[in-house]
Amino acid sequence: MIPDYVKEQARLELARRSFWYYCELKAPDFYKENRIYLKDMCDKLQNFIESDKKILVINLPPRHGKSRTATLLVQWLLGKSNKRKIMTGSYNETLSSTFAKQVRDSIQEEDGTFSKVFPDVSIKYGEASASKWALTGSEEANYLATSPTGTATGFGCNIMIIDDLIKNVEEAYNENTLQKHIDWYSNTMLSRTETGFKLIVIMTRWASGDLAGFILDNYQDVEHINYKAIQDDGTMLCDEILTKEDFEFKTKTMNKDIVYANYQQEPIDIKGKLYSNFLTYKYENIPTFKYIMNYTDTADMGEDYLCSIDYGVDFNDQKYVLDVLFTQEPMEITEPAQAKMMTKDNVGYCKIESNNGGRGYARNVQQELIKLNNRHTVIDWFHNSENKIARILSNATGVMTNIFMPEDWATRFPDYYKAMNSYQREGKNKHDDAPDCTTGVYENTTPKILQFGYGRI
C-alpha cells in the first residue's frame, strides 16, 4: 500500500506541473473533473504560456470562473518562477486591488495550498503592498495590479493579464469609453511589456468595439477561446453553475441585447446593428453600367469623416460600389484625392451633399479635375434639409438589397466597412457619415441631365 504522505507528495508535484491540477487542489469544490470547460480553459491557458503564441483572448459568461481562474493563474506562474513579472488590469482600482490582494494573500497564507505546492516561494519582506510586490530572491517587483485610471510607471512585465474592463451596459454602448480602453491598452499597457511577453485578455463580450474585438480585428494569429452559456445543441455550458431553468429566470426581464452579449458572447452592437448583411460582387463578374456616378458627403464638423463613393448603376438600377474615400484628412488632401478617384473610375456625374461648406468644396474639386484634364465629370452641389437619421433608418433595407460591395471591401476599405457594420439602429452612434453617404447612393439613381459647363457650381 502506498503511504498517504507519498500520495500527497505526488499530488503536490502534479499541481506544480499542471495548472489544472493546481486549480483542482486549490479549489476542489469549483474545479471539478465533470466541469469540462474549466479543465479545457486551464489546459489551454497552460499550453498558451508554453507556446510561441503571443496573444490569447478568452470570452466567458458571468459567474463561470473568469477572474477566479486568472487569479489562480498568476499564483501558479509566480510559484513556478520568481523571474516572471506579471501585470494585471481590471476596470477600476478597487477591482484591481482586490485581484492583487487575493494573489498576495494566497502566497502569504501559512500552511496553505500554495505554500505546500511551492514551499520555497514567499513575498519579500517590506514588498507586500496591496497592488505591487516582489518575491523573495527577486531583484525587482514581480507583480503590479492597475486599471485604466491607475498607473504602470516604472514597471515592466513579461506576462500581461487584462480581466473584464467593461463594468456595465452603459459603458458597452459608449464608444468613447471603449476607445479609452483601447487607448489605455495601446499607449500605456503595451509600452510596459518586455521582450517575449504574453498577453491574455479574459472578458465577457459586450460590444464588437471592446478590447477583445479590437485585438481580434487587428492582430493575426490570436488564439481565441469562446464559451457560450447555451451551446449550439441547446445544452448548458455547465449545469452545475447555470441551469437552463435559472438562465431563463434570470434573463426573463433582462434586455435581450445584454443576454446575447453576456451569456452568448454576441456583442450588443452585432444584435442591434442597422445593417444585417450586404450584397457583394466579384470583380470578374461586374456588369455593364449605364451610368458611373459619385455621391459625396463632406465633413461638416471637425471630427466628422468625408465619405465619397464612386459607383456604377446597371440596367436594373442596382448600384455597384467601385471605390470609397472615407477619411478625416483635411480638404487640401481630400479634394485632389476625390478628383483622382473620380477620374480613375470615369465618373460622369458627381453629387456633393453638405450643409456646411459644400459649395466651396465642390468648386475646389472642380479645379482639381481641370488640373487632371478631366472635363467629363459633372459636379452638382445641393443642400439636404431632410432628417439624416430618418433617411438612414428608412432606407436601410434598400441599401442592403440594392447596393453591391466589392468582395474584399473589408480589407480594401476597412474604416468604411467598420462604420457600416457597427452602425446601431438604436443607441449612441459616434458617426453617421458612412451610412448617410451610402443612403445617398441608394436614393440617387438617375443623374440630372445637365446641359452646360461642368455642372451647377
Compute CA 283 distance to the chain's CA centroid, rounded to the nearest angstrom. 30
- SS3 of the chain: helix, strand, coil, percent, to 5: 40, 20, 40
Which of 48, 41, 44, 45 is CA-nearest to residue 64? 41
Task: Please name the residues in contact with 398: beta carbons below 8 A apart, sequence gap of 6 or more.
Answer: 442
- Per-residue DSSP letter, 188: I
- Give the containing element (helix H, strand E) for 225: strand 223-226
pLDDT at 128 over 60: no
Q: What is the pLDDT of residue 154?
A: 72
Region of poorest pLDDT, from 28-42, 89-103, 106-120, 309-323: 89-103
Beta bridge partner(s), residue 163: 202
Look at strands 306-313 and 319-327 and give their pairing: antiparallel
Three cell numbers written together for 65: 470562473
Highest mean pLDDT among 206-215, 320-329, 380-389, 422-431: 320-329
As a whole number, mean pLDDT of residues 385-414 equals: 90
Spatial separation of the C-alpha atoms in residues 326 and 391, rounded to whole Å: 20
Q: Which residue is listed with cell 478628383? A: 339
Q: What is the pLDDT of residue 451?
A: 39
Q: What is the pLDDT of residue 447?
A: 65
Three-state SS at 131: coil
Which ranges in 2-92 belong to alpha helices (H)? 4-17, 19-26, 36-50, 66-80
Torsion of CA 140, 145, 150, 153, to 10 degrees: 20
Q: For the chain, first and last CA: distance in Å?
A: 98
Q: What is the pLDDT of residue 432?
A: 87
Region of poorest pLDDT, from 43-47, 69-73, 198-202, 441-445: 441-445
Highest mean pLDDT among 48-62, 91-105, 159-173: 48-62
Domains of the chain from N-terminus onward = 4-270 (3.40.50.300), 279-443 (3.30.420.240)
Q: Which residue is listed with cell 445544452? A: 235
Highest mean pLDDT among 228-242, 255-269, 423-437: 228-242
The phi and psi torsions of 132 (rounded to 5 degrees) equal -150, 125
Cα separations in angstroms, 194 against 36, 124, 159, 197: 34, 23, 9, 6
For the chain, the average pLDDT equals 87
Q: Select the more confidently predicted residue: 435 or 421.
A: 435
Which of 414, 441, 406 is CA-nearest to residue 278? 406
Which of 186, 160, 164, 97 is CA-nearest to residue 133? 97
Q: Select the more confidently predicted residue: 387 or 57.
A: 57
Which of 62, 138, 73 is CA-nearest to residue 103? 73
pLDDT at 453 over 50: no
As a whole number, mean pLDDT of residues 279-308 equals: 89
Region of poorest pLDDT, from 67-76, 84-93, 243-252: 84-93
Q: In percent, how much of the chain has pLDDT > 90?
A: 51
Region of poorest pLDDT, from 156-165, 166-175, 186-195, 442-451: 442-451
Three-state SS at 314: coil
Polymer length in residues for the chain: 457
- Per-residue DSSP letter, 284: G
Cβ atoms of 293 and 447 within 8 Å: the answer is: yes
Which of 76, 82, 90, 96 is CA-nearest to residue 20? 76
pLDDT at 273 over 90: no
As a whole number, mean pLDDT of residues 446-450 equals: 56
The DSSP string of 69-112 is: HHHHHHHHHHHH-TT--EEEE-SSHHHHHHHHHHHHHHHH-TTS
